[in-house]
Copies of this chain bind each other. A is one copy, B any other.
Amino acid sequence: MSTIPAAAPAAVMQAFNQPIAVRDYPLPRDLKPGEWLVEVELAGMCGTDVHLHRGELKIPLPVILGHETVGRVAAMGGGATQTDWLGNACRVGDRVSFTVGRTCGTCRYCRVYRLPSRCQNRKAYGVTTPCDAPPHFLGGYAKYHFLHGDTAVFRLPDDLPSETLVGAGCALVTAVHGFEKLPMMWGESVVVQGAGPVGLAAVAVAKEAGANPLIVIGGPRDRLERCKRFGADIVIDIADVPDPAARRKIVLDHTHGLGADYVVECVGIPAAVSEGWELCRDGAKYLVLGQYCDNGPTPLNPHLIVRKELTIAGSYGSQPQHWTAAIELLRTRRERYPFHELITHRFGLSQVNESLAAVARWETGKAVIVP
């Protein structure tokens, strides 16, 4: 770990739909107890970053994007040894990651309802943390990342490569949260709608939890191939089977003619929900994971909820304990779920625009910024 410089570069989004430029900010000094400075090693690029760059969420600007970050501790307030969220001792040079959502711990959601993912004062690094005032470094696409004292930091085990964690990205903790919210039973037939990062994460969690059979509907082909490598038994390519009724028929063929026990929506397009309900057997569970962005209403028939006796649930983002589970899964099942293989593109800090373009064109498995 080299000496901390006085200033360091960051890729700053000044305006929506405009090129992102690298500029220097002064690094914070005199960290208070609980505050950390992390030298960024890898910062994953999530599909959400493309949406953010397009201004589809009205976040305050300027901002340093990047909310899937691994780095090494460069400095810590409060002494040479601090503890991470799990109580592990951390020192300068240790490799860490952290939750992007900071929660207040004092609102009714944090306290009474124990639902910190819905904290009324939630802030997300790389999303809702403007960077024009110190400590500036509040997103992943920068040489350093500042962490407030309320951040859940995780020291990474030596047998968990950074690529594995960043390859899984925020999709995996999202899926972990969802399956906690609506538990699946081993042996249940599962359909995952969508083969993108959230879909692949859902495949990993569902496989680990004993889905049988595990069916994926999505595309393109290489993503479906990856789903198979992660354990999907059957994949349905929407390019090959563009008709929802034909897709449903394939699902029924593998589910006693009735539909799946458990269906997970990982598409993000509202209309997917309507197709999804049709894939459920009566009495099935339906988990909504993909509708993180607000794309407005879609025609849905609530009679189906009654007639099919569905249970439907959604979860939002993640909570720190989902990181604990995700880290343990990645560490111990790296060969079964090779998330590191997703990383197909690496860009420097000055190439954030190229990276956004590549992600927007769906060319990447996973693109990462290496500052």
Contact = CB atoms under 8 A, between A and B. Distances in A.
Interface of A: 83, 85-87, 105-109, 111-115, 117-118, 179-183, 185-187, 205, 208-210, 212-213, 256, 258, 265, 270, 273-274, 281-283, 288-316, 320-321, 324-325, 328-329, 332-333
Copies per assembly: 4
B302 A273 contact: yes
A291 B312 contact: no
Contacts of A117: 309
B303 A300 contact: no
A302 B305 contact: no
A309 B114 contact: no
A289 to B, nearest CB: 7
A78 B235 CA distance: 42
12 contacts: A86-B108, A86-B111, A113-B321, A180-B185, A185-B209, A212-B333, A291-B305, A293-B303, A295-B303, A308-B314, A309-B313, A309-B315
Contact of A283 (B85, B113, B290): B113
B208 A309 contact: no
Contacts of A270: 301-303
A210 B289 CA distance: 21
Given A303-B295, A329-B212, A321 B114 contact: yes
Contacts of A308: 118, 314, 316
